[in-house]
Amino acid sequence: MSRIVYVNGSYLPEEEATVSIFDRAFLMADGVYEVTSVLGGKLIDFAGHMARLERSLNALGMNKPEAFDELLDIHRELVTRNDIDEGMIYLQVSRGAAGDRDFVFPDPEVVKPTLVLFTQSKPGLADNPTAKTGIKVISIDDIRWGRRDIKTVQLLYPSMGKMMAKDAGADDAWLVEDGKVTEGTSNNAYIVKDGRIITRELSTDILHGITRAAVLRFAREAQMTVEERSFTVDEAQQADEAFVTSASTFVMPVVALDGAPIGDGTVGPVATRLREIYIEESIKAGV
C-alpha cells in the first residue's frame, strides 16, 4: 500500500509527491532533518526533536517553514493516515528551490523552505530482537565537517561508514577523532565501567542526541553515575559494557569493537535496564 506523505502543505500518495530538481537539499545538502519515533501510535520525545529542529534552522540562518507551529498536527495526521503503530516519522526542511543552481543563499522572502514528511512503519521496533544479542561495531576515522551538532542531510560519510562496517562483517561504525570516539554513524556512543556510564560531552563535535538527553536523565534519576567525557577505542574495549542511543534504536547494546568482545561479549545489565526504562517512560510521555 502506498504511503500518504506531506509536501509543502499537501497530503499526497507518495507517487504523486514531488520536489524541484533545483531544491538546495538535492543540489547542496542545504537541508536539515529530524526523525521522531512512534510507539503505540504516540510520538516519542516530540518536543525535543522540534526544539533541535529549530536550533538547526537557526544555526544555518534558514527560515522556519510556514507550517512550523502545525508540526504536531502534521505528525499526528501522518500517523493516523498511514496507520502507524510502531515506526518513525522523517521530517526534512531545506532552504528551498531558487529555480537555478547558485552557491549564494536565495532571498528567504522570495524562496520559501521546502518541508517534507513521511512515515516508516516498523512493527516490532520496541521488541527488536537485536537488543537481546547486541551489535558489533568497528572504528573508523571521523572525517566529517566541524558542525556535527547541526542535523544536516549531509549523510554520505555516515552511509559510507555503515558500508565499511558491513564489509567488515559488523553492524555499525564508531567514529574516532584525535584518538577519541566522537559518536556512532547515526547514534551516540557510550561505555560502562565499574557501574559508571561514560559518554562524550556535548560540543560541535557530535549531534546532541534527543535520546541521549532522555537516557542520561533517566540514568541519573535511577541513581546511576554519569560521566560526560570522551573515551578511546582502547578504553571501550576494556569496558564492562557499551551501547548506542538514537530515536530509532532507543538503547542498543554493543558487544564488540574492532573484533574485540566488550565485557564478556554479551548484552550487559546497564544497557538492558536503560533500554527498559527509556521505552517505558517514553511511551508514558508520548503525545
Is 162 considered catalytic here? Answer: no
Query: 28-87: which residues touch ligand PMP (CB under 6 A)?
Result: 35
Q: Does 252 bind ligand PMP (CB under 6 A)?
A: no
* DSSP result, 81-109: HTT-SSEEEEEEEE--B-SS--SSPPPTT
Residue window 133-172: x/- pattern of binding to ligand PMP, with contact defined by CB under 6 A? ----------------------------------------
Cα–Cα distance, 271 to 188 (Å, whole number): 13
When binding is defined by CB under 6 A, the residue of 154, 211, 230, 282 that contacts ligand PMP is: 211
∠ Cα 126 128 134 (to 5°): 125
Which of the 8 DSSP states describes residue 38? Answer: E
Number of residues this chain uses to bind ligand PMP (CB under 6 A): 13
> CA dist 179 to 13, 139, 175, 231, 285, Å?
47, 11, 10, 8, 38
Does 212 engage in binding with ligand PMP (CB under 6 A)? Answer: yes
**Closer residue to ligand PMP (CB): 209 or 253:** 209
Residue among 188, 199, 230, 282 that touches ligand PMP (CB under 6 A): 188
Q: Which is nearer to ligand PMP, 97 or 236 (CB)?
A: 236
Task: Using alpha carbons, select from 66, 60, 53, 58 the residue that is nearest to residue 92.
Answer: 53
What are the cell numbers at 228?
560526560
Which residues bind to ligand PMP, rule: CB under 6 A? 35, 183, 186-188, 207, 209-212, 245-247
